[in-house]
Structure 1
Amino acid sequence: MVNTTLSAAGAASRSSDLYRAVWRWHFYAGLIALPFLILLALTGALYLFRDEIDGFVHRDVMTVEARTSAPAAPTVLVAAALAAHPGTVFKYVPPARPTASAEVGIKTPAGEKMSVFVDPYDRRVLGEIPDKGTVIWIVRQLHSLSYFGPVANGVIEIVGGWTILLVGTGVYLWWPRRQAGDRQGGGVVSVRGRPTQRVFWRDLHAVAGIFAGAFILFLAVTGMPWSVFWGSYVNKWANGTNYGYPAGVYVDVPMSDLRLSEGGPTSWSLEQAQVPQSSAPGAAHGSGHESGHGSGHEAAHGSGHEAVHGGAGGGAAGAGAIDLDAAVAIFDRLGLAKGYAVNPPAGPTGVYTGTVYPDDLSRQRVVHLDQYSGKPLIDMSYADYGPFGKALEWGINVHMGQEFGVANQVVMLAVCVAIVLMAVSAAAMWWKRRPNGSLGVPPMPRDRGVMRGILAILAVGGIVFPLVGASLLVMLAFDWLVIRTPRTRRA
């Protein structure tokens, strides 16, 4: 009987020590992650409604009155933009709908990039915005901390790793135990007490966390591919061979040293994709140039070819190349989803590149055209990605609130609200339990050996995510200093 009692007491002591160890590292994870998670939640909530917000804030340049007359040719709209803002065209976005303006990306002689918006019906320049200067683009840069430089962007990777730890330890702490105070689901699925009581904030934190935890874990994992260190190296490993294209898509055409990501935002799976080169003019003319001309090239030449490829357009394309009108006509004929962007050739061997990344993943597409023949050199869509690329792109699409329409936006908005609630409730219950003159770190387990198992798990995460591992070493040093520092705890 005595042995049974001692065994039960030992088990209870080990359970209590494990709880303390988990609680301690949950506290540390929250200390690191929660301040940033508030920023991520607020900016993420805004980004979910990027089209609506940008459409409203910039409606004076992005929206026009629909008319029965046909829109002007792309070369004419580009010429109008260049007349107002001389420079070199690096992007053209045809109107995605009858009430949308055309967007012309121009690089000025001073090296500044801007987006000029033109009414497609009357060719009137509506205004300009600095390239990547829309409200939502700034929100996106804040969300990734890229706004503050690559070092700050690396912090997001660290936060992602600690968030995974935060969720894992939080689930353990939430797990129902037979305690008198937790009867009838109190603190498990319902909130007890009043805001003046610590139990209210503890329960609010726990309940919000358990309902949103799986989603928060999903957001942390799917955000990792965009991180500055881990994401970039994994991307190079996953997509660094075969010119960055999945097997079966690459064809035997000359490739340049340019990456698709250098021309503008692209999908994660195509960041390492190299841009092909156009064939020499003579070869191009002999291998289908006439067919390219047969798709409306003559009409395009009659509507302003010299305005684009001459001085107004910067002279980027080679002599005898098809113009923007012909390229847009080919992209339309190939069925690129509305809202696609066109990057004109960068020099005599450059290509016309059409890219579109709509909410519908199945319509993601990248097409490179030979600038002389108009022949598609590479035509790739989401269906061509490998299993790893498809899974990551699907996760990113859900992360951004796109995959399931309005329902996706609403669910992710609820998760963002839950994150803010958890951060506020964590701060409130810490404030109510904090000892005077101390950070209020949860107590160490009596048996320090319990920490070894926790640290082993943390070490695995640190190996998978090196920046997280480096931050873990810093926190271990901090923990050692905290242990060494005498402090008074509340009873």
Structure 2
Amino acid sequence: MDTIPTPRTPGRWRFYRAVWRWHFYAGLFVLPFIAWLALTGAAYLYQKPIDRWVHHDLKVVAPSPQAPALPSAQIAAVTALSPGDVFRYTTSERTDGSVEIGVLRPNRQREVYYVDPTTTQVLGHLPDKGTFSGVVRRLHSLDLLGDYASALIEIAAGWAILLVLTGLYLWWPRGQKGGITTVRGQPRQRLFWRDLHAVTGVWVGLVLLFLAVTGMPWSVVWGKQVNAWANGQDYGYPAGVRVQVPMSQQRLADATSPTWSMEQARLPASALPHAHHADAEKHDGHEGHGGGALGDLSPQPGAIGIDAAVQRFNRLGLTPGYSVALPRGPLGVYTASVYPEDVAGQRVVHLDQYSGRVLLDMGYADYGALGRGLEWGINVHLGQEYGTFNRLFLLVACAAIVMLCVSGAVMWWKRRPLGGIGVPPLPKERRTVAIVFALLCVGGVLFPLVGVSLLVVGVLDFVASGGWRTPGPSRN
């Protein structure tokens, strides 16, 4: 049988049991989530090659020596087949790739049409974010669970942080000869699974900690609060936003899918070529609200048009594969955005829809220190920043995280008592449990939803254990 390592002092032993109890609760709640996130995250690491394979007929075209047709001709080919308003035009990232044209249908559904850039042949269409990688990302973010998904992600990430920190404390060598860097026993023994869990966890736990922290920006409470706090500050919000140009009430997130730190960024306003300020103010006050409504997408008199806008973006040197969000209303702008694998290549450019003048041109270098740090962490989290190495490292880490979850489940199954769930025993002094619980609650202040869940579990554990009292005699 395996044994729990015995520390040299009773005090350390009491804390070991208290920490073990909370490590058990953390694992009980989040191991299924962690395994799910690891599996879906591993698939998302290779989103582009998988999408090209799954949607080959839509995304891949025969390279042609001829120059691509004008964007307006490509858009006309789509609108001839599908009624609706075009809200986004995405250039091809590769010479053998199709262009993507987003259409808002009369029923308010968003569709993406794939077009051969040279022949303007419409290859087919999918719902917006309906590619294989789009579905995997929705599965990974638990969007299929509805409005509560972001809350679950925040709680799971917070408990994963707790799981890692308590696990490192339990792993810390206390005189034992095995289970630190080596695995003892045989697969039929719990000792084998305990050591496998500990040895795997000690190195992959740091990766899991990084993924949990860098996944927090997408959460519903902590993420939004930090985003709002970072935006509008020199250390977070892109410095290039604070320029002397009129700003509208429209936000970048209403028109495209920006980086996390840019979700609250407001769009500049085009200068009207004639005096229709009342009409402009009406559009400015209502567009972009109501669940991400796109507003008036009809072409405005005097606008330069998509062809001139794309030519201007090309001359500015944007990385191929950039998306252009079309203007919304008389104050709208042409917005080009691109987020390549190298975070330093991120860029957003806004053009006045009438004059073609650059109103705003910002990139990663314009972000504050906090914004750069957060975006770098997100890029590494997505497996993009360091190319093949980043993806392979995270792929191995995802496999190890799944192994961590499996070994933890097997270890629990082998030690659980009949008719019970096998909660680790309390130390003799209930003050020890209270101290550990109070320390955990400090982290709950930083992550509010996690803190609420900690209080709920703590109260239930306190009541169920009769006030954290050990029911029988203890050798400790």
Indicate the residue corresponding to 2:302 in structure 1.
Answer: 320
Structure 2: how far apart are the matches of 1:397 and 1:238?
Answer: 18
Q: 1:152 pairs with 149, 153, 159, which one?
A: 149
Is 1:362 the counterpart of 2:344? The answer is: yes
One-letter code of the match for 1:94?
T
| Long gaps (5+) in structure 1 | 1-8, 284-313
Indicate the residue corresponding to 1:253 in structure 2.
Answer: 245
Indicate the residue corresponding to 1:433 in structure 2.
Answer: 415
Instruction: Please tell me whether the aligned partners of residues 317 and 350 of structure 1 are also in contact (alpha carbons under 8 angstroms).
Output: no
Matches within 5 A, 1:225-244: 225-240=217-232
Matches within 5 A, 1:11-160: 12-160=9-157
CA deviation after TM superposition for structure 1 residue 315, in Å = 6.2
Instruction: Please tell me whether the aligned partners of residues 342 and 353 of structure 1 are also in contact (alpha carbons under 8 angstroms).
Output: yes
Q: 1:453 pairs with 435, 446, 459, which one?
A: 435
* TM-score where L is the length of structure 1: 0.87
One-letter code of the match for 1:477?
V
Deviations 1:242-283, CA, capped at 9 Å, x for gaps: 9x9533542222211111111121101101100111001149
Give 3-state SS (helix, strand or coil) of 1:166's partner. helix
Indicate the residue corresponding to 2:379 in structure 1.
Answer: 397
CA deviation after TM superposition for structure 1 residue 41, in Å = 0.3
Indicate the residue corresponding to 1:483 in structure 2.
Answer: 465
Indicate the residue corresponding to 1:209 in structure 2.
Answer: 201
Deviations 1:174-199, CA, capped at 9 Å, x for gaps: 111213xx2xxx21112122211111
Structure 2: how far apart are the matches of 1:10 and 1:330?
Answer: 69
Structure 1: how far apart are the matches of 2:130 and 2:438?
Answer: 45
Instruction: Please tell me whether the aligned partners of residues 438 and 487 of structure 1 are also in contact (alpha carbons under 8 angstroms).
Output: no
Structure 1: how far apart are the matches of 2:472 and 2:200?
Answer: 31
Instruction: Please tell me whether the aligned partners of residues 86 and 297 of structure 2 are also in contact (alpha carbons under 8 angstroms).
Output: no
Give 3-state SS (helix, strand or coil) of 1:358's partner. coil
Indicate the residue corresponding to 1:381 in structure 2.
Answer: 363
Report which of the two has the higher share of helix. Answer: 1
CA deviation after TM superposition for structure 1 residue 346, in Å = 0.6
CA deviation after TM superposition for structure 1 residue 46, in Å = 0.7
Instruction: Please tell me whether the aligned partners of residues 367 and 380 of structure 1 are also in contact (alpha carbons under 8 angstroms).
Output: yes
Indicate the residue corresponding to 1:171 in structure 2.
Answer: 168
Structure 2: how far apart are the matches of 1:11 and 1:192?
Answer: 23
Structure 2: how far apart are the matches of 1:412 and 1:315?
Answer: 41
Structure 1: how far apart are the matches of 2:460 and 2:35?
Answer: 24
One-letter code of the match for 2:381?
H
Could you say what the CA RMSD is over the residues aligned between the two structures, in angstroms? 2.2
Deviations 1:303-359, CA, capped at 9 Å, x for gaps: xxxxxxxxxxx8623211101110000000001111100011111211000000110
Give 3-state SS (helix, strand or coil) of 1:449's partner. helix
CA deviation after TM superposition for structure 1 residue 384, in Å = 0.1
Structure 1: how far apart are the matches of 2:253 and 2:465?
Answer: 48
Q: 1:409 pairs with 365, 371, 391, which one?
A: 391
Cα pair distance change 1:241/1:178, threshold 3 Å = closer
Instruction: Please tell me whether the aligned partners of residues 30 and 166 of structure 1 are also in contact (alpha carbons under 8 angstroms).
Output: yes
Deviations 1:88-111, CA, capped at 9 Å, x for gaps: 000001222210011110011111
Cα pair distance change 1:379/1:385, threshold 3 Å = same
Give 3-state SS (helix, strand or coil) of 2:253's partner. helix
CA deviation after TM superposition for structure 1 residue 11, in Å = 6.2
CA deviation after TM superposition for structure 1 residue 459, in Å = 1.2
One-letter code of the match for 2:224?
S
Structure 1: how far apart are the matches of 2:464 and 2:404?
Answer: 25
Of the two, which has the highest radius of gyration?
1
Structure 2: how far apart are the matches of 1:139 and 1:474?
Answer: 32
Query: Percent sequence identity over matched residues?
Result: 54
CA deviation after TM superposition for structure 1 residue 12, in Å = 2.4
CA deviation after TM superposition for structure 1 residue 477, in Å = 2.1
One-letter code of the match for 1:166?
L
Give 3-state SS (helix, strand or coil) of 1:191's partner. coil
One-letter code of the match for 2:196?
L
Structure 2: how far apart are the matches of 1:156 and 1:248?
Answer: 32
Indicate the residue corresponding to 2:448 in structure 1.
Answer: 466
Structure 1: how far apart are the matches of 2:372 and 2:137?
Answer: 23
Runs of 4+ with deviation above 3 angstroms:
484-489
Give 3-state SS (helix, strand or coil) of 1:68's partner. coil
Indicate the residue corresponding to 2:287 in structure 1.
Answer: none
Instruction: Please tell me whether the aligned partners of residues 30 and 159 of structure 2 are also in contact (alpha carbons under 8 angstroms).
Output: yes
Instruction: Please tell me whether the aligned partners of residues 240 and 272 of structure 1 are also in contact (alpha carbons under 8 angstroms).
Output: no
Instruction: Please tell me whether the aligned partners of residues 150 and 228 of structure 1 are also in contact (alpha carbons under 8 angstroms).
Output: no
Indicate the residue corresponding to 1:193 in structure 2.
Answer: 185
Instruction: Please tell me whether the aligned partners of residues 238 and 371 of structure 2 are also in contact (alpha carbons under 8 angstroms).
Output: no
Q: 1:162 pairs with 142, 152, 159, which one?
A: 159
| Long gaps (5+) in structure 2 | 1-5, 276-295
Instruction: Please tell me whether the aligned partners of residues 353 and 366 of structure 1 are also in contact (alpha carbons under 8 angstroms).
Output: yes
Instruction: Please tell me whether the aligned partners of residues 104 and 115 of structure 1 are also in contact (alpha carbons under 8 angstroms).
Output: yes
CA deviation after TM superposition for structure 1 residue 147, in Å = 2.3
Instruction: Please tell me whether the aligned partners of residues 7 and 174 of structure 2 are also in contact (alpha carbons under 8 angstroms).
Output: no
Indicate the residue corresponding to 2:263 in structure 1.
Answer: 271
Instruction: Please tell me whether the aligned partners of residues 74 and 94 of structure 1 are also in contact (alpha carbons under 8 angstroms).
Output: no
Give 3-state SS (helix, strand or coil) of 1:266's partner. coil
Structure 2: how far apart are the matches of 1:357 and 1:316?
Answer: 27
Indicate the residue corresponding to 1:221 in structure 2.
Answer: 213
One-letter code of the match for 1:234?
V
Indicate the residue corresponding to 2:288 in structure 1.
Answer: none
CA deviation after TM superposition for structure 1 residue 150, in Å = 2.1
Structure 2: how far apart are the matches of 1:263 and 1:240?
Answer: 20
Cα pair distance change 1:24/1:89, threshold 3 Å = same
